Chains A and B, each alone.
Chain A
Amino acid sequence: MKRTKRRYLALRLDSETVPSQKEFADAVWRAVTQLFGEVGASLTGLALIDYSAEEKLGVVRTSLVTVDMVRAALASITCVAGREMAVHVLTVSGTLKSLYGKV
């Protein structure tokens, strides 16, 4: 079986207040399922790898073929837990090591 290629996305949270890790993860999942449905969301292999409320940074993992889907879903997030927020993709990388090197 062919190995699934993955990509890691470093995210910057643009908001005045910072949501908790659970609130952020819920918002990302909600955005993906709203845009692509549960079947589409299942194809993304999405996972929240790292989250830092202090630095307003997050890292998510997705499969290579669904990077654009996840990017679109992240761009569609306008509020998290009732607070206005935008999520910007800082960089995309194939390994966590190079991702942290770029951020």
Chain B
Amino acid sequence: MKHTFADLHLRVNWKDQAATARMVTKAAALGYALIAVPLAPETRTEEIAQLRITCSDVGLDFAARVNLHPRSQNELLSQLRKLRRKFEVVCVLCETKEVSRQAAKDRRVDLLNFPLLNYHGRFFDRAEAELASSALATLEVDVKPLLILQGPTRIRLLACLRREVAVAREYRLGVVVSSGVSEVMHLRKPREMAALASLFGLDSAAALEAVSENPVGIVRRNREKLSSGFVAPGIRVVKGGKDC
């Protein structure tokens, strides 16, 4: 089966057009079909369209992503109300337990991302996984720290990720493996990302899903929701006018 590979966390300074073009070209050369770049909430629609063109020039599909880092539950709800319909992928950086729980149960959140090196600030436990599995959120794991860290710090991170991924799989919660890189040299091929994911306990099929079906599914679902004909999941307007 041919996979469509996606990287939902390519951190480029999109205002620097040369750097963006370099990164996007490299991603296409490495075999990705879809990328998402985190943008500032105030990014204008024209700027998003420009990025989409840059990507389509090299044969890449582009999804606009926003990273929310709210300090409270109310701030998260307010940001979601404002931004959900503007971006195709919404990721919440869960830095407090209150925010983590709200993000996990809110169906407008796509990705849950946890602070990498603050092990006491990673609130991904069974309760979180249970909430997320009944909503639509997915656990996102960035591989960048696995590339740049070494020794005890990496060992500790791997142990932490292994525990979290095991919990996620127990509750049938999707896992998305993203690069999270901002430098071209740190970009890896999708199958290499899957191999890195095997380090924290994903078997090869699940690891491949984490870089293909899972991220692509999120974008496809959200594009359908953002389309003008969408009414509710499974219901869409197919024809309008007086003769209906």
- Chain A residues engaging chain B, CB cutoff 8 angstroms: 14-15, 34-35, 68, 71-72, 74-76, 78, 84-86, 88-89
- CB-contacts of B136-163 with A (<8 A): 146-148, 150
Q: How far is the CA of A12 from the CA of B137 in the complex (A)?
A: 36
Complex alpha-carbon distance, A39 and B198, angstroms: 18
Interchain CA distance A88-B147 in the complex, whole Å: 14
Q: Is the CB of A75 within 8 A of B195?
A: yes
| Cα–Cα, bound, A78→B162 (Å) | 23
What 1/0 mask marks residues of chain B from 20 to 54 whose CB sits below 8 Å from any chain A CB? 00000000001000000000000000000000000
- Whose C-beta in chain B lies nearest to the C-beta of A79? B185
Using C-beta atoms within 8 Å of the partner chain, give the interface range for chain B: 10 to 19
Name the CB-closest residue of A to B149: A76
In the assembled complex, the CB of A7 is this many whole angstroms from the nearest CB of chain B, namely 13
| C-alpha spacing A15/B186, complex, angstroms | 11
Min CB gap A80→B, angstroms:
12
Q: Which of B147, B187, B204 contacts A76 (CB 8 A)?
A: B147
Given contacts A74-B192, A75-B192, A89-B192, contact A68 B198 (CB under 8 A): yes
Residue ranges of B at the interface with A (Cβ–Cβ < 8 Å): 30, 146-148, 150, 185-189, 191-193, 195-196, 198-199, 204
User: Cβ of A78: which chain B residues have Cβ within 8 Å of it?
Assistant: 147-148, 185-186
9 smallest A-B Cβ distances: which pairs? A71-B195, A75-B192, A72-B195, A75-B188, A68-B195, A68-B198, A84-B185, A72-B196, A86-B185
CB pair A76 B185 closer than 8 Å: no
Taking CB atoms, residues of chain B closer than 8 Å to A84 are 185
Q: Which residues of B contact A85 (CB under 8 A)?
A: 185
Q: Which residue of B lies closest to A36 (CB)?
A: B199
**Contact partner, A14, options B147, B185, B198, B204, Cβ 8 Å:** B185
Query: Closest chain A residue to B197 by CB distance?
Result: A72
Q: A72-B195, A89-B189 known; 8 other A-B pairs, CB under 8 Å?
A: A68-B198, A71-B195, A72-B192, A75-B189, A75-B196, A78-B185, A86-B188, A88-B188
Partner of B198, one of A34, A72, A86, A88: A72
Shortest Cβ gap from A63 to chain B (Å): 15
| A75 nearest CB neighbor, chain B only | B192
What's the least CB distance linking B223 to chain A, in Å? 30
